[in-house]
Amino acid sequence: MLHTFIALVDNKPGVLTRIASLFRRLNINIASLTVGETERDDLSRMTIVCEAPENAAHRIRASLYKLEIVRDVDEVTRGEAVIRELALIKVAAGPPASSMSSRTHLFELANVFRARVVDLAPESLMLEMTGSASKIEGLLQVLAESHYKILEVSRTGRMAMRRGKHTSRVLKALGSKDHGDAEFPPLAADEALPNQFAEHDA
Amino acid sequence: MPKATKTNPNNAPTLTGAEILWATLVGEGVSTVFGYPGGAILPAYDALRKFPIHHVLVRHEQGAAHMADGYARASGKTGVCVATSGPGATNLVTGLATAMIDSIPVVAITGQVSSKVLGSDAFQEIDITGITLPITKHNFVATRAEDIAPMIREAFQIAQSGRPGPVLVDITKDAQQGSCVYDFEAVAPAPYRPHPMLRAETPEMVKAIELMRASTRPVILAGHGIIQSGAEREVIAFAERHNIPIATTLLGLGGIPASHPLSLGMMGMHGESWVNNAIQQSDLLLAFGMRFDDRVTGNLATYAPNAKKIHVEIDPSEINKNVKVDVALIGDLKEVLTTIAKILDERGEPRGVDVTKQWRDEIRAMKGDASVRDIINLPDNGHLYAAHVINDIWQEAKAAGRLDSTIIATDVGQHQMWEAQYFKHEATRTLITSGGLGTMGFALPAAIGAKIACPEKDVWVIAGDGGFQMTAAELSTIVQEGIHINIAVINNGFLGMVRQWQEAFYDKNYACSPILSPDFVILAGAHGIPGANVTKRAEVLPTVTKARTADTAFLINFAVEKEDGVYPMIAPGAALHEMVRRPNPLIETAED
Ligand SMILES: Cc1ncc(C[n+]2csc(CCOP(=O)(O)OP(=O)(O)O)c2C)c(N)n1
């Protein structure tokens, strides 16, 4: 299954390699990984989506925490978090004279999918779309089924943020800038005993 | 004299990066480093003699890493090794990997080309932090003098905390040559952050206690963690309180005195039959600071099928990795056992109820049954067996009253397993061996590190003729340091463990396992180290005494039986109780 982890990591050179190297060592394929700045300039935020057995999550999380540069790791599911992706899609579409109808149709399609046309060139146009991965895949599928020629696709990979008032444990704990004497609160008491071998309905 | 300023409140001195390196090491309590100079680390070496640090010049940087490792295993303190950039740094790799997989605190310092040419394939530039990423707990690159002290201090904290491990600090030449204010106190690392998934709360402990109450056939599995945590006494007290027999992993040997009535001996692939059978037949396994490595579990599908499992472990990523457990107490073993004892005391748990007596009697019976196959009970038939040699080294130390002060560093192979079986370790940190990586060439340099850490102890190298040749150049280091180390080469003319596998699983096709060796006694002599050849059992004890009481290092070449095997043995994939026992010819000569 796909797991989505949100990791807060030190904003330092080499951090990405350490994370990527860990997944390589565990022989887990990363489906997507986004990194960017956060509300604190000493921390970066990563959303890591990977394909791994359901029960592997505990070990991945525990292993991530063993990296010195990792401050907090959260695993989120679709229900608990807003998960978004951005895609740029370049579609072949000639000038109005030659294929008037196809361009108009593309604008309509974009409208329905809440995508935006962000560039118009003589032979192509570029769509920008933000949404869940499945929405983006929906647009791509409709384009393909309508026999549009997709020239290029660039997707950011997923970004996730928990819904509601959840502030990450670590930011709450760090408080001060020099994450000096911050105490790490223990895991929530209701968090089940980690069990990699749990029976689960697949 | 500079004045105290806002950025320098303690009016600290200005030093070069090179000086800061050594000063910080001194501040961290380091008195000895193991290293080898070269261009990119020369500024540091130039400043070395101003500091109270003893530098041991090795013959190969792999030796430096193993010495730092042996130093750490013997003393519990962090070992330090130093190498230059490029080939010096890459030569450390095997040693760091060995320390990583066995969780040994080592700090490695490497020189690096100047920061201005980093990434340009400059002479002797290598991306050592990239190379060592998976074989260090963490690593750093210092490109400015200001980086050095905080990084070294953090490196020590990381190496020693939680589950220990090696940390590498790569220091560019210009960082060593630059200078800045040096204030040891001001660069103290932030307080250690324990792994946030540690978890050893009272409810889980109570669950563990309940499992113990329901058990009549419990076994403690004592791993390296009992030594790393310093929990030897707590484990023994716990075992005594509940009358639980203790099986030990290879790296746990010594943590529990072998002669303790509850001590069973080593488990696993070459563990004793009664130990593995006890584990398979137990109804409760208490895994203390061990990680259910494939070498101790055999086939996981058939492992201890009727046993509930309690796992006390400091590394959360080890929980349920290989074996599913019923209760996990994730934390420091010593603290966990202390808390459990407190809970039991508070509850007025009755003491002295012995519910495991029948179980222990059963195990004792299995043990008696096994002893007839034991090669030790084989009468002298004119052949010299490695097991006898090791048994005699043990007997000699015992007779001399030196058992608690004898450290054995083994190499990897058959002799390593015979050592584990026949040298009965009574004291903690007296066995130094590469368990997880199985690094041949480890013994000699590790023994040098151990001897320098514990000069008052007798230190033995027990190595095969193959592995000894991998790092034999360090004989010269022994002489230059003027230290007394005893070396036992168990010479069977083969890469013995490989030969045994070829015998068992490859139709005796001894491809590339016969190995030619120099005359080790002459080799030692060329270094000024006296030695002796031993071919008969009767010569073993007197020669061992001669070595132990010599003024200098001493090498004994034991010409042992060539095609002997380590038994019992569990074939890969077989269940833990499906042991291959010693085959016939030897049994027949014993009183079976
Ligand atoms: C560096 C390294 N290379 C190869 C091996 C594989 N290996 C394991 S045991 C062994 C044979 C060791 O032979 P020897 O040192 O003579 O010891 P013996 O088994 O005969 O006691 C070999 C080659 C290893 N463990 N380490």
Q: Please report the pLDDT score of residue B300 as a whole number.
A: 94
Q: How far apart are CA B507 and CA B420, in angstroms?
A: 27
* Cβ-based neighbour number of residue B237 at 10 Å: 14
Contacts with B130 from chain A: Cβ below 8 Å: 17
Model confidence pLDDT, tens digit, residues B80-138: 999 999 999 999 999 999 999 999 999 999 999 999 999 999 999 999 999 999 999 99
Q: Please report the pLDDT score of residue A55 as a whole number.
A: 84
Contacts with A26 from chain B: Cβ below 8 Å: none
Identify residue A53 by its one-letter amino acid code.
Answer: P
Residue B339 · residue B231 · CB < 8 Å: no
State how far residue A191 is from chain B, nearest Cα, in angstroms.
10
Model confidence pLDDT, tens digit, residues B560-586: 999 999 999 999 899 999 998 877 545
In this prediction, residues B422-443 reach a mean pLDDT of: 98
Q: Please report the pLDDT score of residue B283 as a whole number.
A: 98
CATH number of B202-367: 3.40.50.1220
Residue numbers of B annotated as active site: 61, 123-124, 173, 497
Tell me: pLDDT of A202 over 70. no
Cβ(B513) – ligand 1 distance below 6 Å: no
State how far residue A202 is from chain B, nearest Cα, in angstroms.
19
Determine whether the interchain pair B190/A66 forms a contact, defined as Cβ–Cβ distance below 8 Å. no
Determine whether the interchain pair A197/B320 forms a contact, defined as Cβ–Cβ distance below 8 Å. yes
Model confidence pLDDT, tens digit, residues B448-506: 999 999 999 999 999 999 999 999 999 999 999 999 999 999 999 999 999 999 999 99
Q: Considering CB atoms only, which of A21, A180, A186 is closest to B134?
A: A21
B352 touches chain A (CB under 8 A): no
Q: How far apart are CA B480 and CA B56, in angstroms?
A: 9
Which residue among B384, B412, B498 has the greatest number of ligand 1 atoms within 8 angstroms of its CB, and so is best to mutate? B412
| Ligand 1 centroid, distance to B498 Cα (angstroms) | 7
Which pLDDT band, with edges at 50, 70 and 90, does B2 fall under? Answer: low
Q: Please report the pLDDT score of residue A95 as a whole number.
A: 66
Identify residue B280 by its one-letter amino acid code.
Answer: Q
Contacts with B196 from chain A: Cβ below 8 Å: 65, 72, 169, 184, 186-187
Contacts with B195 from chain A: Cβ below 8 Å: 62, 65-66
Model confidence pLDDT, tens digit, residues A45-98: 999 999 998 888 999 999 999 999 999 999 998 888 999 999 999 999 876 555
Kindly report the backbone phi and psi dihedral angles of residue B111, in degrees, each rounded to the nearest multiple of 5, phi listed first: -75, 155
Model confidence pLDDT, tens digit, residues B162-209: 999 999 999 999 999 999 999 999 999 999 999 999 999 999 999 999
Query: Within the 171-200 window of chain B, which residues sit less than 8 Å (CB to CB) from chain A?
Result: 190-191, 193-199
| B217 burial via Cβ count (<10 Å: 0-12, 13-18, 19+) | buried
B321 touches chain A (CB under 8 A): yes
Tell me: pLDDT of A179 over 50. no
Q: Please report the pLDDT score of residue B497 as a whole number.
A: 98
Tell me: pLDDT of B534 over 60. yes
In this prediction, residues B530-553 reach a mean pLDDT of: 97
Determine whether the interchain pair B196/A179 forms a contact, defined as Cβ–Cβ distance below 8 Å. no
Sequence-separated (6 or more) residues with CB below 8 Å from residue B368 = none
Q: Please report the pLDDT score of residue A178 as a whole number.
A: 40
Model confidence pLDDT, tens digit, residues B262-309: 999 999 999 999 999 999 999 999 999 999 999 999 999 999 999 999
In this prediction, residues B501-513 reach a mean pLDDT of: 96
Kindly report the backbone phi and psi dihedral angles of residue B170, in degrees, each rounded to the nearest multiple of 5, phi listed first: -100, 120
Q: Please report the pLDDT score of residue B537 as a whole number.
A: 93
Q: Please report the pLDDT score of residue A169 as a whole number.
A: 57
Tell me: pLDDT of A101 over 80. no
Same fold flag, B14-187 and B374-587: yes
Model confidence pLDDT, tens digit, residues B363-382: 999 988 776 677 777 777 88
Determine whether the interchain pair B138/A181 forms a contact, defined as Cβ–Cβ distance below 8 Å. no
Tell me: pLDDT of B59 over 50. yes
A16 touches chain B (CB under 8 A): no
Q: Which stretch of A142-146, A168-172, A195-199, B580-584 has the lowest confidence by average pLDDT?
A: A195-199
Helices in B483-579 by DSSP H: which ranges?
A: 496-505, 520-526, 537-548
Q: Considering CB atoms only, which of A21, A187, A196 is closest to B197?
A: A187
| pLDDT top residue among B428 and B374 | B428
Q: Please report the pLDDT score of residue A171 as a whole number.
A: 58
A177 touches chain B (CB under 8 A): no
Q: Please report the pLDDT score of residue A166 as a whole number.
A: 59
* Torsion sign over Cα A100, A104, A109, A114: positive
Tell me: pLDDT of A102 over 90. no
Question: Tokens in use for B238?
Answer: 């716990």
Contacts with A62 from chain B: Cβ below 8 Å: 195, 197, 315-317, 319
Q: How far apart are CA B157 and CA B538, in angstroms?
A: 50
- The widest CA-to-CA distance across chain B, in whole angstroms, is 85
Residue of B nearest to A178 (CA): B190
For atom 17 of ligand 1, which residue has the closest CA? B464
For residue B196, give the nearest of A6, A73, A14 by alpha carbon. Answer: A73
Determine whether the interchain pair B191/A65 forms a contact, defined as Cβ–Cβ distance below 8 Å. no
Residue B327 · residue B310 · CB < 8 Å: yes
Q: Considering CB atoms only, which of B191, B317, B324 is closest to A63?
A: B317
Tell me: pLDDT of B1 over 60. no
Q: So where are chain B's domains?
A: 14-187, 202-367, 374-587
Model confidence pLDDT, tens digit, residues B297-343: 999 999 999 999 999 999 999 999 999 999 999 999 999 999 999 99
Provide the number of CB pairs (under 8 Å) joining chain A to chain B: 69
Strands A70-76 and B308-313: unpaired
If you classify domain B374-587 with CATH, what class do you get?
A: alpha beta
Residue B115, SS3? helix
State how far residue B165 is from chain A, nearest Cα, in angstroms.
11
- CA B420, distance to chain mean position in Å, is 12
Q: Considering CB atoms only, which of A180, A187, A195 is closest to B196?
A: A187
Q: Please report the pLDDT score of residue A110 as a whole number.
A: 93
Q: Considering CB atoms only, which of B138, B158, B190 is closest to A179?
A: B190
Does the domain formed by B14-187 have CATH 3.40.50.970?
yes
Model confidence pLDDT, tens digit, residues A131-160: 999 999 999 999 999 889 999 999 999 999
For residue B83, give the nearest of B116, B155, B35 by alpha carbon. Answer: B35
Residue A81, SS3? strand
In this prediction, residues B413-418 reach a mean pLDDT of: 98
Average pLDDT, chain B: 95
Q: Compute the CA torsion angle B197, B155, A171, A75 (nearest 10 deg).
A: -40
Tokens 């990997």 belong to B97
Q: What is the ipTM of this complex?
A: 0.90
| Ligand 1 centroid, distance to B497 Cα (angstroms) | 6
